[in-house]
Structure 1
C-alpha cells in the first residue's frame, strides 16, 4: 500500500502513559495556567527600560552585591574570571519579565550521571534560550583526578554547580549586551572603591589581616599582586576581594591561588654547603675577610699555640 510522503517519513509518536494520576493532572493544569498568566501579565505590564537601568545602577552600587558579582580561579598557568550566577540573576530581576530555571530531567545512578536542562525566557519578546546537558557524578581534582560521587548530597551539589553555570549563560542570552556591560562596569567600579570611607592604608591593613586568617602571608599577597603592599591600589584590593569570595564559594582553594614558594635543588645544595662550612670552622677561628691579612700566629689553626 502506498502512503503519502509525509506519512512515510513521519517519526512514530511517543507512547503516552497508560495512566495519569489526579495529582499529576492537577499539576499539569496548574503549570499551563501559570505560564499563560505570566505571559498575559508581561504583556499588560511591559518593562520600563529607564526604570530597569535605574534599578540596575542602584543594585550594583552596593558593595556586598558587587563583590559577589565576579569569580576568579586558576586553570593551569592562567587565571579564569567572569561574572557569577548572582550577577546574572540580579540583571534578570532588574530587567523584569524574565523567567529562568534548571531542571533535572533524569538521574542514572548506575551510569553515574544526570541529564539536566537550563533555560531562560523573556516573556515580552518570547525569546527563549535552553540547553540540555549531561553532568557526570564525578568530582575532578588536580591531584587525584576523578572521584565517583556516591553521597546524594554530593551529587546534588555537583549538579547545582554545573546547572548554575549553564543557567548564567542562558540568562545572558536573553538579556541585551549593553545592559550587561553597563552593570559589569558599575560593579567593577564599586569593588575598586571599596566599602565605606576608610582611607586606602586602612583598607590595605584590613585586607592583609583578613588573608592572614586564611593562612596567607603578606609575601604571598605581594607576589600575587606583583608589587609591595605599600604600593597597592584600589584595583589590587578589588581583585583580592574577588579572590576571597571565590575561596569562600569553593571555586578555588588557598593553595591554588597562593602557592607555597618552592625551594630549588640549587638552593638546597647551597644551604647544605654553607652549613657544612660553618660546622667545619669554629666560630672563633673564622678566617679573616679577603685582603684583611693572614691569620695571627697565635690563632692559626693547627699551630698549637695557646692564647
Structure 2
C-alpha cells in the first residue's frame, strides 16, 4: 500500500504508469537502438577497408552510365542569371556518381518535425577516407505561389515531398563535395557527347530549326521562348534543346497548350532586337549562334521544371 501511494505521489512514477512502460525499459530500448546503429557503421567501415574501390573501374562505370541518353538528358540543371545561365550537375547525375564511385554512405534524414517546419540533414560520407559532408537545414511546411501567397501543407505526403525536394539540392552539394572534381567533369563531358551524338547537324542549326518550328506551327516567338527559359537563345545548349523537344511533344500529343508554357504579355517587355536576330537566323540557317561562357561556379538551384 505504501509503495502504491509513493508511486501516485511521485510524478515520475505516475508517468511510468501512464505510459505502460517503465522508464528503465525505455532507456534500455534507446541504448539498444544506438548500439545497433554503431555496429552497422563499424561493419560498413570494415567492409570498405577490406574491399577498397578500384578508381579505374569506378571511373569506367560512371562513364558507361553517362552514355545512356535518358541520364544524359537530365544530367544538368540550368538557372537564369543576368541574361545568361548558370549550369551544373543535377541530383540525378550526382546519384549515379555516388552509386558507381562506391563505399559511400549518403542520404537525407528528417531529424525533427515541429509545428509548421521540419529540421533535416543531407549527408555524404566516404567510408574509405572518412571524408564527410553534411548540411542541416530547415524546411517550412508551405509552398510559395506567384498568386495567392504561401500555401500551407497539411498532408503528410506533401510535407514528405517538400522535405525530399529541398533536401535533394543539399544532397547533391554533399556528393559533389566528396567525389573528386575531375571525375565530375569527365561525367559532364561524357553526357554532353551522348546528347550531341543523338542528333544530326550542329547544335546552332538545330536550335534555329526549333525556333522556326515553334513560330510557324504554334505562333510562339523567340522572345516568348527566351522569357520561358530566362536567358537569350544564344546561350541555349543541348539540354535546352531537349526541353524544347519535350514541350513540342507535349503540344503535339495534346497534353498541354501553348498558354501553359509561354506568356505573350511577358514577351512584349523583351527588347525587340531579339526578333531581328531570329529573322537573320531564318535567312542564314548555317550561321552559328555564339554561346555565352558558362559560369564556372554554379550555385545550388533546381533544374527548370517542364510540367
Q: Which residue of 2 aligns with 1:125?
A: 129
Richer in helix (by share): 2
Distance, in Å, in 2 between the alignment partners of 1:207 and 1:28 is 57
Q: Per-residue CA shift, 1:175-212, capped at 9, x if unaligned?
A: 11111111111112212322xx77889x98x989x999
Structure 1 position 241, deviation (Å): 1.4
Please show how residues 132-151 of structure 1 align to structure 2 within 5 Å.
132-151=136-155
Contact persistence 1:67–1:245 (CA under 8 A): no
Change (3 A) 1:219 1:36: same
SS in 2 for 1:142: coil
Change (3 A) 1:245 1:129: farther
Residue 20 (1) aligns with residue 46 (2): no
Structure 1 position 143, deviation (Å): 3.1
Unaligned runs of 5+ in 2: 1-22, 228-232, 248-257, 270-307
Q: Which 4+ stretches in 1 moved above 4 angstroms?
A: 21-26, 73-80, 197-201, 220-223, 242-246, 254-257, 261-265
Q: TM-score, normalised by structure 1?
A: 0.61
Q: Which residue of 1 aligns with 2:88?
A: 82
Distance, in Å, in 2 between the alignment partners of 1:224 and 1:264 is 12
SS in 1 for 2:147: coil
Q: TM-score, normalised by structure 2?
A: 0.61
Contact persistence 1:207–1:237 (CA under 8 A): no
Residue 67 (1) aligns with residue 73 (2): yes
Change (3 A) 1:130 1:262: closer
Q: Which residue of 1 aligns with 2:51?
A: 45
Q: Which residue of 1 aligns with 2:111?
A: 105
Worse-matched range after superposition: 162-171 or 26-35: 26-35
Contact persistence 1:70–1:242 (CA under 8 A): no
Q: Which residue of 2 aligns with 1:239?
A: 240
Work out the number of aligned pairs and report it.
230
Distance, in Å, in 1 between the alignment partners of 2:267 and 2:226 is 21
Q: With CA pairs under 8 Å and 6+ residues apart, which has the higher RCO, 1 or 2? A: 2
Distance, in Å, in 2 between the alignment partners of 1:22 and 1:124 is 32
Tell which structure's C-alpha radius of gyration is larger. 1
Distance, in Å, in 1 between the alignment partners of 2:89 and 2:246 is 12
1:168 aligns with one of 172, 176, 179: 172
SS in 2 for 1:46: coil
Structure 1 position 141, deviation (Å): 2.4
SS in 2 for 1:61: coil
Unaligned runs of 5+ in 1: 1-16, 227-231, 247-253, 266-307
Contact persistence 1:221–1:258 (CA under 8 A): no
SS in 2 for 1:90: helix
Contact persistence 2:103–2:127 (CA under 8 A): yes
Structure 1 position 120, deviation (Å): 0.6
Contact persistence 2:224–2:263 (CA under 8 A): no
Residue 193 (1) aligns with residue 197 (2): yes
Structure 1 position 225, deviation (Å): 7.0
Structure 1 position 72, deviation (Å): 3.2
